Amino acid sequence: MNITTIIAMLLIAMLEVVAIVNEINGALLAGSIAIIAGLGGYTAGKKRQPK
């Protein structure tokens, strides 16, 4: 995986933790999980396609 993608995933996860600690709505939590999954899937898809 690209280092930029990994950093983005970590930062999104940090935002997720802050949301949980501050008792912010669960929709934000679900959205952050979707973003992390999207980044991971995009990277995996790029690696599977021949260049």
The pLDDT-based confidence of 1 (bands split at 50, 70, 90) is low
The pLDDT value recorded for residue 25 is 73
Q: What pTM, to 2 d.p., does this model score? A: 0.54
Q: Has residue 43 got a pLDDT over 70?
A: no
Q: What is the 3-state secondary structure (H, E, C) of 21-43?
A: HCCCCHHHHHHHHHHHHHHHHHH
Domain coordinates in residue numbering, the chain:
3-46
Q: Which residue has the higher pLDDT, 17 or 45?
A: 17
Q: Has residue 45 got a pLDDT over 70?
A: no
Closest CA to 11 of 41, 36, 44: 36
Q: What percent of the chain has pLDDT over 70?
A: 78
